[in-house]
Amino acid sequence: MSAQAVSRREPWLRSMLDFYATKMRVQVLTQFQYRVAMYMYTLGMAAEPTIYLVVWSTIARSHGGSVDGITPHQFAAYYIVWTLVRVMNIVFTPYGWEWRIREGQLSGQLLRPMHPIHYDLAEFAGQKLPWIVMYLPIATGLWFAFHPALHPRPLAVLVFLIAIWGAYVIRSLNQFVLGMITIWTTRAAAVFQVWFLAELLLSGRLVPLTLMPQWSQALAAWLPFKWTFYFPIESLVGNMSDASLVTGLGLQALWAAIGAVAVAGSWRLSVRHYSAVGN
């Protein structure tokens, strides 16, 4: 083999950025092909926050205008921003891992040169732009229907823009680890459901965490869930202090780091156990 055949190695960071950029561009183009499907999906998704918003606004109004100091307009702000954060939190689902294994997809994917998390991260990051474009008309509609009280400071906007990506990364990493369970058992769905239940109650997805009982707020403080819903939403709508905004980003980084270690460890452990299915 001659010396020319040895390819020049690209710097790692550059090739990585190139990989992400290409993968994301392809996703943007692909997603815009299915506009009706996306729209219907977004519409189904918008039902959830609208229900919460309506229920809590009703309670607030029947109690002289607020629940625990939260007014209907503040609820409106919370749940409209909620929808955007929810869009950011769409990641590769652990149920998808069942499919990957059953259909033998994973066997082929093992031949790829990079860690599998990169493919999922890049793919779903690329879908964010089309999704957000779809979300804007819905947000506008909700805005005029419910009149949110939203007056963020510039720093809050900046932190929010970082925090939604932090949420995306944390949730992607956590769900990857969950997905690894499917390599060990075919009845992993039960675990996923318990996880999603905990997330619903302890992340701020259901209600602003301050409305939850004290003990569950204390529990939530030690779990990653609130950093994917409550913190990003509150950073924009909650008038948090500068210090707590920055601390929040720091804690997000910490949870992302924990998630990354868990992903690396669980993958290394699981892939050894994996026996191929499919053709």
Partner 1 sequence: MRSLRLVAVYLRLGVLNEMQYRANFFVAMFQSLLSVGVGLAVLALVYSHTATLNGWTRSQLLVILGVQILLGGVVHTSIQPNMERLVDEIRDGKLDFLLTKPEDSQLMISVRVLQLWQFVEIVSGSIVVGVGISQLTGTIGLGHSLLFLALLVLGALLLYCFWLVLATGSFWIVNMWFLSELFEGMYQTGRWPIGVYPGWLRYSMTYLVPIGLAVTVPAQAITHRLHWGTVVVALLFALALTAFTRFFWRFGVRRYSGASA
At 67 the three-state DSSP class reads strand
C-beta of residue 86 within 8 angstroms of C-beta of residue 49: yes
Nearer to partner 1, 14 or 187 (CB): 187
Query: Could you tell me the smallest distance in angstroms from the CB atom of residue 21 to partner 1?
Result: 27
User: At CA 175, angle to CA 247 and CA 48, rounded to 5?
Assistant: 80
Query: How far apart, in whole angstroms, are the C-alpha atoms of residue 63 and residue 93?
Result: 40
Task: Name the residue among 173, 189, 176 with its Cα closest to residue 224.
Answer: 173
199 Cβ neighbours under 8 A, 6+ residues apart:
205, 225, 228
Candidate segments 85-93, 123-131, 210-218, 238-246, binder of partner 1 by CB under 8 A: 210-218
Q: Are 168 and 88 in contact (CB under 8 A)?
A: yes
Cβ distance to partner 1 smaller for residue 127 or 252:
127
User: Nearest 5°: CA angle at 71, between 68 and 72?
Assistant: 130
**3-state DSSP of 227-254:** HCCHHHHHHHHCCCCHHHHHHHHHHHHH
Stretch in the footprint of partner 1 (CB under 8 A) among 32-40, 89-97, 118-126, 129-137: 32-40
Q: Which of 17, 29, 51, 277 binds partner 1 (CB under 8 A)?
A: 51
Q: Nearest approach, Cβ of 144 to partner 1 (angstroms)?
A: 11
Find the binder of partner 1 among 28, 200, 253, 264 (CB under 8 A): 200
Determine which residue in the list 1, 3, 13, 47 makes contact with partner 1, applying CB under 8 A: 47
Q: Which residues pair with 70 in a beta bridge?
A: 67
Asked if 193 interacts with partner 1 (CB under 8 A), we say yes
Whole-number minimum distance, CB 235 to partner 1, in Å?
24
Q: Which of 10, 68, 103, 242 binds partner 1 (CB under 8 A)?
A: 68
Restricted to residues 141-180, the positions that interact with partner 1 (CB under 8 A) are 145
Q: How far is the CB of 115 from partner 1 (least distance, A)?
A: 28
Q: Which pair of structure tokens corresponds to residue 43? A: 């519409």
Applying CB under 8 A, which residues contact partner 1?
34, 36-38, 40-41, 43-48, 50-51, 54-55, 58-59, 62-63, 67-68, 145, 187, 189-190, 193-194, 197, 200-201, 206-207, 211-213
